[in-house]
Amino acid sequence: ERQPSAHIEIARMEVCQSMAHMENFFQNIMDNGGEGIILRDPKAAYQPGRSPGFLKHKVIPICSHRKES
């Protein structure tokens, strides 16, 4: 499959079969250096820009560094 550039990779679509399937797929993406996944409601119509039919699923690291007084 042809990719648009050396810096951009087109992700393949994966149909979610269950919550466990989604969790395994997500973990595989993370283990291979990915940032996260986009979940899409298959019944939602496409809308350009931000859409309620898409959900970004990623890990956000939380740092709780407190400066001692």
Predicted confidence (pLDDT) per residue in 8-42, tens digit = 777 788 899 999 999 999 999 999 998 899 999 98
- Does residue 62 have a pLDDT over 90? no
> Cα-Cα-Cα-Cα dihedral of 20, 21, 23, 28, to 10°?
140
Please choose, from the candidates 15, 21, 12, the residue with its C-alpha nearest in 3D space to the C-alpha of residue 41.
15
Average pLDDT over residues 45-54: 87
Q: Which residues contact 3 (CB under 8 A, 6 or more apart)?
A: 9, 10
Query: DSSP alpha helices (H): ranges in the chain?
Result: 19-31
Please choose, from the candidates 41, 37, 42, the residue with its C-alpha nearest in 3D space to the C-alpha of residue 57.
37
